[in-house]
Amino acid sequence: MKNIESRYQAIAWMLFASVAFGSMNALVKWTSSTADVWSMVMVRSVVITLGIYLIATHRGVSLRVNDRKNMFLRCATGLIAMILYFTALGLIPIGQAVTLQYTNPLFVALLSGLFLSESVGIRTWGLALASFFGIALIVSPDLRTVDINALYALGSGFFAAVAYLYVRMLRSSEHALSIVFWFALFSVIFTTPPAILNLKGPLSEPKIALALICIGIGAGAGQVGLTYAFHKANAAWVSAFSYVTVIVAAGYGYFFFGESLDNGDIIGCLLIIVSGILLTLSRSKRNNAES
């Protein structure tokens, strides 16, 4: 009974995270016509940096970095992923952008052999093939021309996967709060110079300034939801519910931005989502069998 209750709580937290991330995506889309990507990433990162620092200080958690090389690579790849993703949100429908960004489980599975010396089985390659077919339906519906803007989101999924693999390498040497803090601070440092050139305009408009701050709040709230969800249930099992973010984001796109997905997009989204869930669950079973 206790396990069942814990699972329900995990689902609730994951749904909360999905709404938070979906709302953040919508705010990025809404502000993209006024604020540039650098400004959005910088303000988002400032909010998270301050929030994590206060939490770490309150809990007495050390933010000291032990593995500087892998921390730098995690921060660099994560920042590239975020810049590509925010760029895509301003150029293509939210549903497409979120779905393509959620190809990261596919890339994690395929890159595990290179980064973590884990074997990649036939099942993984089969699911990868299905996922790539879904990607093709979104990026190149007629299989002749390629939607260049959609490649930003796909690139985001790839670099997000690489960043996640570096996070896995850092788990044994760094505190989770430290990893989040340094990524946020790294993002602030590297996006501030280009953001300053264009930040004055958006900050002079109260609505845009508030939206930029809420992007950071949405991202932070989503991270809190993910953290509690993973604490309440098996990470791989509950992460399957994270794909609700795609539905939430597509809903925002339909009701607030007049966006819609054609049949090819819908089939592509389903292939990517189902493949991602099966990849996540199969990796969980394999890890449990090896432990």
Q: What pLDDT sits at residue 118?
A: 63
Q: How do residues 173-206 score in pLDDT, each as one tens digit?
A: 998 889 999 999 999 999 999 998 887 777 778 9
Cβ count within 10 A of residue 249: 29
Identify each DSSP E strand in the chain by its residue range.
Answer: none
> Half-sphere exposure of residue 21, counting CA atoms within 13 Å on the CB side?
27
Query: What six digits make up the tokens of 193?
Result: 């110079």
| Residue 182 or residue 137, greater confidence | 182
For 70, the 3-state DSSP assignment is helix
Highest mean pLDDT among 116-125, 191-200, 282-291: 191-200
Query: What six digits make up the tokens of 24?
Result: 């953040």
Q: What pLDDT band is residue 67 in, cutting at 50, 70 and 90?
A: very high
Instruction: Summarize the confidence of residues 17-41 as an average pLDDT.
Output: 94
Q: What pLDDT sits at residue 289?
A: 46
Q: DSSP assignment of 186-234, as one string?
A: HHHHHHHHHHHHHHHHHHTSHHHHHHHHHHHHHHHHHHHHHHHHHHHS-
Q: Domain spans of the chain? A: 36-290
Q: How do residues 215-257 score in pLDDT, each as one tens digit?
A: 999 998 988 888 788 777 666 667 778 888 998 999 999 999 9
Q: How many angstroms separate the first and last alpha carbons of the chain?
A: 26
Q: What pLDDT band is residue 291 in, cutting at 50, 70 and 90?
A: very low
Residue 283 has pLDDT above 90, yes or no: no
| Residue 280 or residue 15, greater confidence | 15
Mean pLDDT score of the chain, rounded to an integer?
A: 87
CA distances, 124 to each of 36, 119, 151, 238 (Å): 38, 10, 23, 20
**147 CA to centre of own chain:** 21
Q: What residue type is assigned to position 60 of the chain?
A: G
For 115, the 3-state DSSP assignment is helix
Residue 31 has pLDDT above 80, yes or no: yes
Instruction: Summarize the confidence of residues 13-29 as an average pLDDT.
Output: 94
Query: What six digits make up the tokens of 120?
Result: 């990649």
Q: What pLDDT sits at residue 52?
A: 92
